[in-house]
Structure 1
Amino acid sequence: MSLRINDVIPTRHELALEGGAVSFLEWKGEGPQPALHFAHANGFNAMTYRHLLSPLATRFHIRAWDARGHGFTSLPADPTTHKNWYVFRDDLIRVVERFAEDAGGPVLLGGHSMGGTTSLMVAAERPDLVRGLVLVDPVMVPRFARLAMQFYRLLGRKGGPMSLADGAERRRAIFSDRATMAGAYKGRGAFRTWPDEMIADYVEGGTKHRNDGQIELACAPAWEAANFRAQGHNVWEALGKLKVPLTLIYAGRDSTCRSPAPQLLGQRDPKATLLRLGQASHFIPMEFPDVIRREILALDARLTT
C-alpha cells in the first residue's frame, strides 16, 4: 500500500523535566498503534521531518522531539559547558519512558545524524524501552577522528576536524521574517537538495519571534557549533552493548557513519538491514524520504512476526 501526506495533523505537547520542558510533536490516529519516536539532527527540529513522518501516521503513533537547545524545548543549553551528547541520551530516555508508558510497551526509535546517535545510546542504555532502531546516517566517526576533534578543542584550534563547528558558529541567526529566511536557504549550502516544503518546515519549527518583530534561530549558532565540538561521548562503547534489532540507512557521499560502523552494527543484529544509498548525501530524509518510510515499515513488520 502506498503512503501519502494525510490529514493527521501533528499536535505539540510538552514534557516537564528539570530546568524546563521538552517540546514534541505527536501524530496519533484512532485505536492502538505501534509507537515510533524520531529524533532530529543537530541544528534541526521535529517539524523539519513532518513530510517524512506524516505519511506514517496511519500506521504508527508517532512522537518527535525538539532536543535540548533546539526548536521549542526550554531546557537549559549552555555552549560553554557542553562536552558530550550524554545529556541528549539522558533527556531522550525520560521522553521514551513516558512514551512507552503511554503506548503500553517499548518504542521503535528512529533518528537522523545526531538523533540517530542519541537513539542508539538510549537503546544501549535502556533496551527495555526500545523495540528496534532505524538509524539514518548516524554520527559514528572513527576513533582517531574523534580524538583529533577532542585535541583541537583542547587547544582551542579552528579548521580541520572543527570545520563544521566553525561554519555553524558563523551562521546568520536573525532574519526579517520566515519567508526571507527560507528564500535565503533555498538551493544553497546544506539546503541545496532539500524540497521547498521541508525548508519551510525547518524554518517554522526552528525559529522564534523577537521583540523587534524579526525572527531568530531557536537553535543558537553557538549551541549548534558546541554540539559538533562536544565529542566526549563514546558511541563505540554503546554499540558494543547494543542488543536490539536495527536498520541502518547511510549515505554514499560524505556519510557521517564511517567504516567500521556499518560492519559492527551488522554484527550486533545478524538480521539487520544495512542500506547504503550511493546517490544520497547526509540529508537522506530530505532526498529519499520514501526509502526511510519503507525501511521503518519493514523493521516494524520484522518485529511483529
Structure 2
Amino acid sequence: MTEPTVTDLPVEDGTLRVLRFGSGPRIAIAAHGISASGMSFRAVAGQLPAEWSLFALDLRGRGGSSGTPGPYGIDRHAADLCLAAEELGNGGPVALTGHSMGAYIALRAAARRPELFDRLLLVDGGLPLPVPEDADLDGLLDLTLGPAMERLRRMYADDEAYVDFFRMHPALGADWSADIEAYVRYDLTGPQGARCSKAREDAVRQDGRDLLGSTGRCGADLGRLAVPALLVHSPLGLLGQEPPMLPAAVVEHWVERVPQLTAELVERSNHYTILLGTHAKTVAERLAGSWDVA
C-alpha cells in the first residue's frame, strides 16, 4: 500500500490536513468518524482502481488538524467538506463518502451543496438516531463510544502501549491488519512516556452532542437529498456485537421515504471493520462502481 501524500488545505481560522491516496483524475472526498482521522480510509483507498484519487480529510480537532480551532459541529465540518470539494475537485462534481459521524457530515454537505457531488456513499451512518429528548448527551456518549472515549483521556508510555490498547478492542482485535495498525500509529502524538491520541476530547464531545441532538436536522437533510446515495451498513455495532449502529427498522424506514437512497447490508462486518478491515474492498467497489447519476 502506497502511503498518502500529505497537504494542508486553507480554511477559515487555519488549515485542514488532507491525505491523498492515489493519483487518478476521478476524485472522492472522505470524512471520518468522531474520534478517528483520514487514515481510517487507508484500506478503502488501497482497493480503489488506478483512475481514482481519494482525499481523506482530518476533521477539525483530529489528526493533523488537531490544532485547527472550533467551533466544531456538523455544520462546520460540512462546510469544510464543501470547500475541499471546490478546491480539490478538478472543476467538476466529485464522489463523497463518510463513515459513522462522517456520514452525517457528508449527508449535510450533499444536501446543502448538491452541485458539488455526483454520488454519496454513507458507511454505517447518516440516518437519524433514536435519542430521547431529555437524554444526558455526555453520558450517552460515554456509554455508546466506550473505548473511544476512554483512550482520549489516557497517556501511554510508548507507541506499542497505544497499539496494544487498540488490539484489545473487541471490534478490532480479531481483524487486525497493517491498515488498522497504520491508522492507529498515525493517531499518536506527544513525548515518550506521555503519548496520546491526536483527537481532542472537547472536539469529540461538542460534535457528539451536536450529532445526538440533530435527529430532526438529519431527517431534513435526507428529505431534500438530490444526489444518488447508497448506505452500506453493518449487522454488528461499535463493540463488534449486536445491536448495530443502524437498526434494520431504521434503515428500512428511510429507504422507503427517500427516493435517492438505497441500502446494502455488509454481512459479518462491524461498525469499524466495514471500513478498516477486509470489508473495505466492498466499500471501495461501491464507491467506484457504476451508479445511475443521471
- Match of 1:98? 87
1:163 matched residue in structure 2: 143
Report the counterpart of residue 62 of structure 2 in structure 1: 70
SS in 2 for 1:175: coil
CA–CA distance in structure 2, aligned partners of residues 65 and 111 of structure 1? 10
Which segment is superposed worse, 104-113 or 183-192? 183-192
Conserved in 1, the CA contact under 8 Å of 2:107 and 2:126?
A: no
1:217 alignment partner AA: S
Q: Tell whether 2:131 aligns with 1:146.
A: yes
Deviation at 1:72, TM superposition (A): 0.3
Paired amino acid for 1:115: G
Task: After superposition, give the CA deviation of every residue in 1:31-71 in whole Å (9 maximum; x if it has no partner).
Answer: xx211112111111111221221231513122000011110
CA distance in structure 2 between the partners assigned to 1:304 and 1:133 by the alignment: 10
1:291 equivalent to 2:282? Answer yes
Q: Indicate yes or no: 2:77 matched with 1:88.
A: yes
**In structure 2, distance between residues paired with 1:97 and 1:76:** 21
Distance (Å, rounded) in 2 between the aligned partners of 1:197 and 1:55: 14
**Relative to structure 1, is the Cα distance of residues 72 and 57 closer, same or farther in structure 2, using a 3 angstrom cutoff?**
farther
Distance 1:262 1:133, change over 3 A: farther
Q: Matched residues in 2 for 1:176 and 1:289: separation? A: 31
Shift of 1:112: 0.8
- CA drift of 1:106 comes to 0.5
2:239 is the counterpart of 1:248 = no
Q: Secondary structure at the match of 1:174?
A: coil
Aligned to 1:206: 187
**Does residue 1:216 correspond to 2:209, yes or no?**
no
Q: Which amino acid aligns with 2:61?
A: G
Find the counterpart in structure 2 of residue 125 from structure 1: 112
CA 1:201–1:269: 2 relative to 1, 3 Å: farther
- Secondary structure of the 1:244 match is coil
Unaligned segments of structure 2, at least 5 residues: 237-242
> Structure 1 residue 61 and structure 2 residue 60: aligned?
no
Counterpart for residue 135 of structure 1: 122
CA distance, structure 1, for counterparts of residue 252 and residue 68 of structure 2: 33
Q: Distance in 2 between matches of 1:166 and 1:27?
A: 30
Aligned partners of 2:40 and 2:250: how far apart in 1? 29
What is the rounded CA distance, in whole Å, between the counterparts of 1:107 and 1:206 in structure 2?
A: 27
Matched, 1:109 2:101: no
**Aligned-residue offset at 1:17:** 1.3
* 1:63 counterpart SS class: strand
The answer as to 2:177 corresponding to 1:186 is: no
Structure 2 residue identity aligned to 1:45: S
Q: Report the residue type matching 1:176 in the other structure.
A: A
Task: Return the alpha-carbon distance in structure 2 between the equivalents of residues 262 and 225 of structure 1.
Answer: 29
Aligned residue type for 2:68? L
Q: Tell whether the 8 Å contact from 1:85 to 1:118 is kept in structure 2 after alignment.
A: yes
Question: What letter matches 2:254 in structure 1?
Answer: L
The residue identity in structure 2 corresponding to 1:152 is D
In the TM superposition, what is the alpha-carbon distance from 1:252 to its structure 2 partner? 1.4
Residue 228 (structure 1) aligned to one of 183, 202, 208: 208
Q: Alignment RMSD, CA only?
A: 2.6
Corresponding residue for residue 10 of structure 1: 4
Following superposition, the deviation at residue 214 of structure 1 comes to 3.8
Q: Secondary structure at the match of 2:96?
A: strand
Matched, 1:35 2:22: no
The aligned counterpart of 2:43 is: 51
Count of residues in Structure 1 that have an aligned counterpart in Structure 2: 280
User: Please, what TM-score do these two structures have when normalized by structure 1?
Assistant: 0.81
CA 1:121/1:47 → structure 2, altered by over 3 Å: closer, same or farther?
A: same
In the TM superposition, residue 186 of structure 1 has moved relative to its aligned partner by: 0.6
Between 90-99 and 184-193, the greater mean CA deviation after superposition: 184-193
Q: Which runs of 5+ in 1 are unaligned?
A: none
